[in-house]
Chain A
Amino acid sequence: MRILIKGGHVVDPANKIDELRDVLIQDGRIVKVQKNIKEAVDEIINASGKHVFPGLVDVHTHLRQPGQEGKETIESGSRAAAKGGFTSVCCMPNTKPVIDERSLVQMIYAEAERVGLIKVFPFGAVTKNLEGKLLSEIGELKDAGVVALSDDGRPVYSSKVMRHALEYAKMFDLRISDHCQDLDLSEGAVMHEGVVSTELGLKGMPAASETVMVARDIELAEMTGGKLHIAHASCAGSIWQVREAKARGVDVTCEVCPHHFSLSHEAVRNYDPCTKMYPPLRTQEDIIAIKEGLADGTVDCIATDHAPHTQWEKEMEYNVAPCGIIGLETAFSLSLKELVHTKILTLSQLIDKMSSAPAKIFALPAGSLSEGVDADVALVDLESEWTVKEEEIHSKSKNTPFMGMTLPGVIEMTLCRGKIVYRK
Chain B
Amino acid sequence: MSRLQEKPAAKWSRKDLLELREMSAEEILLILDTARSFREVTTRAVKKVPALRGKTVAILFSEPSTRTRISFELAAKRLSADIISVQTAQSSLVKGESLHDTARNIEAMRADILVVRHGASGVPHQLARVVSCSIVNGGDGSHEHPTQALLDLFTIREHIGHIEGLKVSIIGDIAHSRVARSNIAGMTKLGAKVTVCGPPTLIPRGIEQQGVDVTYDVHEAIEDADVIYVLRLQLERQDEGLFPSIREYAATFGINSAKMQRAKPTALVMHPGPINRGIELSPDVADGSHSVILEQVTNGIAVRMACLYLIAGVKAGE
Q: Which residues of A contact B (CB under 8 A)?
A: 193-195, 197-204, 206, 270-272, 312-313, 315-320
Contacts and interface: CB of A to CB of B under 8 A. Distances in A.
8 contacts: A194-B206, A201-B143, A270-B125, A313-B98, A315-B98, A316-B93, A316-B98, A319-B141
Given A315-B98, A315-B100, A200 B121 contact: yes
A313 B96 CA distance: 10
B181 A202 contact: no
B92 A317 contact: yes
A198 B177 CA distance: 10
A201 B206 contact: no
Contact of A200 (B91, B118, B122): B122
Contacts of B210: 198-199
Nearest to B62: A317
B178 A317 contact: no
Contacts of B98: 312-313, 315-316
Contacts of B92: 315-317, 320
B205 A318 contact: no
Nearest to A312: B98
A269 B100 CA distance: 19
A193 B142 CA distance: 14
Contacts of B181: 199, 201
A202 B91 CA distance: 15
Contacts of B205: 193-195, 197-198, 204, 206
Nearest to B177: A201
B183 to A, nearest CB: 13
Q: Which 8 A-B residue pairs are closest in the complex by CB-CB distance?
A: A271-B122, A201-B143, A201-B142, A195-B206, A317-B120, A315-B98, A198-B204, A201-B121
B207 A317 contact: no
Interface string B129-145: 00000000000111110
Contacts of B123: 271, 317
Contact of A199 (B21, B125, B126, B175): B21
Contacts of B91: 316-317, 320
B100 A318 contact: no
B43 interface: no
B192 interface: no
Q: By DSSP majority rule, is chain A's interface helix, strand, loop, or mixed?
A: loop
Contacts of A272: 126
A271 B121 contact: yes
B99 interface: yes
Given A313-B98, A315-B99, A202 B122 contact: yes
Nearest to A196: B206
B179 to A, nearest CB: 11
B65 interface: no
A202 B121 contact: yes
A195 B92 CA distance: 27
A194 B204 CA distance: 8
Contacts of A312: 98, 100-101
B48 to A, nearest CB: 35
A195 B99 contact: no
B209 interface: yes
Interface in B43-97: 91-93
A56 B123 CA distance: 39
A316 B142 CA distance: 17
B116 to A, nearest CB: 11
A319 B122 CA distance: 9
A312 B209 CA distance: 35
A318 B126 contact: yes
A361 to B, nearest CB: 35
Nearest to B176: A201
A198 to B, nearest CB: 4
B175 to A, nearest CB: 8
B126 to A, nearest CB: 5
B20 to A, nearest CB: 12
Contacts of A315: 92, 98-101
Interface in B205-221: 205-207, 209-210
B125 A271 contact: yes
A316 B175 CA distance: 23
Contacts of A204: 205
A200 B178 CA distance: 9
A317 B126 contact: yes
Contacts of B140: 201
A420 to B, nearest CB: 38
B143 A317 contact: no
Nearest to A193: B205
B242 to A, nearest CB: 12
Contacts of A193: 205
A204 B207 CA distance: 13
